[in-house]
Amino acid sequence: MLLKYKIIFFTFLFLIPGCSLFNKYKESSKNYYTSDIKNLIHNAISGDTAANKKLGNFTDLNIPANTDFNSFSVDSVIINSGKKYYLALIGFPNPIYNRFAVYDSTLRLYLLDKSLNGYLIDSILNLNKRKIVRVSESFISKDTLKVNRLSLFLISDSTAKLVFRTFTKLVEPKNKFTQTVTEFNSDRIRTEMESTKESEISNKADVFLFDYDKSKYISTNNIFDNFVTNQIRNFNLKPEKPEITDLKSFYASVGIDINVDTLKTTSNTKDRLGYTLTLPDNWRTIRNLSITDYLKDATAGTKYMNDQIGSSISVIMIPPEDSAEMYINYKLNNQTNGKYKVRFSDKIPMRKDFVQFFEFSCGSSKYILILTASKYTYDEYKQIFQSIINSFTIDC
């Protein structure tokens, strides 16, 4: 299938594995079924914040909503213990929207893969009473090269994990290279390679041994993946169609032009809406963004993001007569008074993140700040978050 956007040979997105002083997160006791999950996904990709939160942030609401998928399925699988899982797979012409997710019947998220390229097909395999989900991808690189990739996900009582991923086919104008799985068991996967014309991988084989510490099949050679990567990198053709190779091209594929320049600690970033904020290295800025996370309704603002530590700060200007509670469903119970009046919430756990809300007021200027930080890195970077919030100044 020819796609509007092409992915080159590497992936830069992620797999997500699957006590507040108020508003504690509670596990849902409701049982969800295939039709429920399908409806929630439809709503989430249409921009419904509540549905997206229920699904563990299935889609990225920081980019334009997209319902133009070319494949969509929600299947169920029952493992040996009798537990039922739901497998959601959706593919789009623009692969930045592609998703594979695993939920249980209470809608608990076990796995969310955002790194799938091109056209997607899935199937269920049995391996010694364990369930393996096979996802095959077909996509095009550099307008010409046809590439297939195979991913295997192991579903168990308490986890869903990516255990194996490799390229399986590369088609060039004058040659075709394939890697075929010839042996597959709990301990190892063996593959054999061939090409239509004699090449450096002709009649070679590779063995991927299961590493129980890392819970995945690993080869010390990675012959075919290394070969495909080099072939694509060295293919002498400048693509005319857009390729997604980094964060700038990722956002450009949906019409967002981001400022990718690193913001230095020695200088402030001054926004056109009357405030100044100082950020350390590795934070990037997206202006004029429709911000939806944790808001009652989408509201225009600026988002500062650090992907390395999984954190962001959103800034929204609101009318001086409004209060933050008109925009969010959380209470700002704390207050400080100095040059500015600052009202703020407690730190609130939201699945894998901590979220905290601030309202800054000065004269006729008022802003909402939303800090989102990964639970796994919050303590390590807490001082940085405090420094950024404390650096917020208003022209008033």
Q: Name which residue leads in pLDDT, 240 or 182.
A: 182
The pLDDT of residue 165 is 96
So where are the chain's domains?
A: 6-244, 258-394
What average pLDDT does this structure show over 198-224?
95
Residue 232 confidence (pLDDT) above 80:
yes
User: Which pLDDT value is given to residue 372?
Assistant: 93
Phi/psi at 227 (5° precision): -65, -50
φ, ψ (nearest 5 deg) of residue 208: -110, 110
Residue length of the chain: 396
Helical (H) or strand (E) element with 354: strand 353-362
The residue ranges of DSSP E strands in 22-118, in sequence order, are 71-78, 84-91, 99-104, 109-113
- pLDDT at 206 exceeding the cut of 60: yes
pLDDT in tens, 125-144: 888 778 999 999 999 988 89
Residue 276 pLDDT: 86
Does the 258-394 domain belong in CATH 3.40.640.10?
Answer: no
Please report the pLDDT score of residue 19 as a whole number. Answer: 28
**Beta 99-104 vs 109-113: how paired, if at all?**
antiparallel
pLDDT of residue 247: 61
- The CA distance from 390 to 23, in Å, is 25
Report residue 222's pLDDT band, with 50, 70 and 90 as the boundaries. Answer: very high
Q: State residue 290's pLDDT score.
A: 82
Distance of CA 283 to the CA centre of its chain: 17
Average pLDDT, the chain: 84
pLDDT at residue 15 in the model: 55
> Nearest to residue 142, comparing CAs of 5, 347, 305, 294?
5
pLDDT digits (tens, 9 = 90+) for 83-104: 999 999 999 999 999 999 999 9
**299: pLDDT strictly greater than 60:** yes
- Tokens 């563990």 map to which residue? 56
Reply yes or no on whether the pLDDT at 195 is more than 60. yes
- Whole-Å CA distances, 124 to 37, 290, 363: 19, 38, 61
User: What would the pLDDT profile of 41-55 be if each residue is shown by its tens digit?
Assistant: 999 998 887 888 889
CA dist., res. 209 & res. 57, Å (int)? 33
Output the pLDDT for position 9. Answer: 41
pLDDT > 70? residue 24: no
22 vs 27, 130, 374, CA distance in Å? 15, 40, 19
Contact 111, 16 (CB under 8 A): yes
Lowest mean pLDDT among 5-19, 34-48, 336-350, 354-368: 5-19
Question: Which pLDDT band, with edges at 50, 70 and 90, does 3 fall under?
Answer: very low
pTM: 0.63
Give pLDDT tens digits for 247-262: 666 666 656 555 433 3
pLDDT of residue 258: 52
